Amino acid sequence: MSPRKIIFDTDPGIDDAMAILFAHLHPDLDLVGITTVLGNGSIDTTTRNALYIRDRFAIDTPVLRGAASALLVPDEEPPTFVHGDDGLGNVKIDHTDSDPAPGSAAQFIVDTVMASPGEVSIVAVGRLTNLAIALDIEPRIADAVAEVIVMGGALGSNEYTGNVTPVAEANIYGDPHAADMVFTAAWPTVLVGLDVTMTCVMRRPQMQRIRGQSGDAGEFLWDITRFYENYYRERRGVLGFPVHDSCAVIYAVAPELFGTVTGALRVVAEGISRGQTILVPAERTFPPSAWDDQPHSIGCIGVDSDGVLALYEDILRRGA
């Protein structure tokens, strides 16, 4: 079987960088493009980081610059306390002078999906702005895409209901209008949220093994994750760090590692619950509501965390 084509929409970002390398090295995935969005840094920062990772690891794929702001909510300062001032853990990096490919991320998504109907999946691990703009440019991508897998949100199936507010996860909070457009469009969507990503915590001994056995990728990941590990230990009391964005890529190749629920998924766009993701399971009935007659999404509510982390390590080791 030929590898599955994916567009990786991302805001690198330390855990984004981890996920890019996994997607690049997995033999069943064909990374046909990396599209950037603001989030863990400004659009200049996330695009520069994507280009750096692409060039350093000789990943044969274009990088397209995406949205610099959310659709409607105002810009906020990037979370430099999580990902560093440079978005990659404040390690010394000699950036290349590569430029992104011409055109916008959203137009690239439209062109790539429409060129190969049914063949291209999108894995989105930042704000969903580029995807919403792509839907606006060409609504027929909803029929033509194979699958849309999103790292974001939380369904309240365990204690991790939010990370930027008590009910909101950063990617969804950062552009809630775009997220609601994405989950109410008629394309197959999967939400890989904090319910599962917060239990996929890579601890130091495993990261040390990856450093030792995965060549330059291992060294790079070790370096950039020091800052991230420190943030989770000091500010969140977590020993290790969640591999949020890798979970979404891993869903694409190993969905059997996840427990799921299916139903209409809406995003709260305004007010104190801004960014909350609420999925109504298909079998539940309520009086008329905003979830009626909406397309169904798959939401991840359980995960074999050891399986996810072992697969990550294995693919990185085999790629060295």
Q: Which of 245, 258, 266, 294 binds ligand BDR (CB under 6 A)?
A: 245
Least distance (Å) between residue 284 CB and ligand BDR: 27
Q: Give yes or no for residue 229 binding ligand BDR (CB under 6 A).
A: no
Q: Which does 61 bind (CB under 5 to 8 A by kind): Ca ion, ligand BDR, none?
A: none
Binding segment (CB under 6 A) for ligand BDR, from list 108-116, 165-173, 278-286, 306-314: 165-173
Q: Which of 53, 59, 109, 151 binds ligand BDR (CB under 6 A)?
A: 151
The Cα–Cα gap between 45 and 77 comes to 13
Q: Which does 169 bind (CB under 5 to 8 A by kind): Ca ion, ligand BDR, none?
A: ligand BDR
Dihedral-angle region of residue 120 (phi above 0 means left; psi in -120 to 50 means alpha; beta otherwise): beta
The Cα–Cα gap between 32 and 303 comes to 27
Residues 6+ apart with CB under 8 A from 159: none
Q: Give yes or no for residue 244 binding ligand BDR (CB under 6 A).
A: yes
Q: Which of 9, 11, 180, 245 is catalytic?
A: 11
**Cα–Cα–Cα angle for 286, 290, 296, rounded to 5 degrees:** 85
Tokens of 74: 């105002």
Q: Give yes or no for residue 13 binding ligand BDR (CB under 6 A).
A: yes
Tell me, yes or no, if 244 is annotated catalytic.
yes
Burial of 307 (0-12, 13-18, 19+ CB in 10 A): middle
Tell me, yes or no, if 11 is annotated catalytic.
yes
Q: Interface with Ca ion by CB under 5 A: which residues? A: 11, 13, 16, 125-126, 245
Residue 232 CA neighbour count, 13 Å, CB half: 21
Would you name the residues annotated as active-site residues? 11, 244
What residues make contact with ligand BDR under the rule CB under 6 A?
13, 15-16, 40, 82, 125-126, 151, 163, 169-171, 244-245
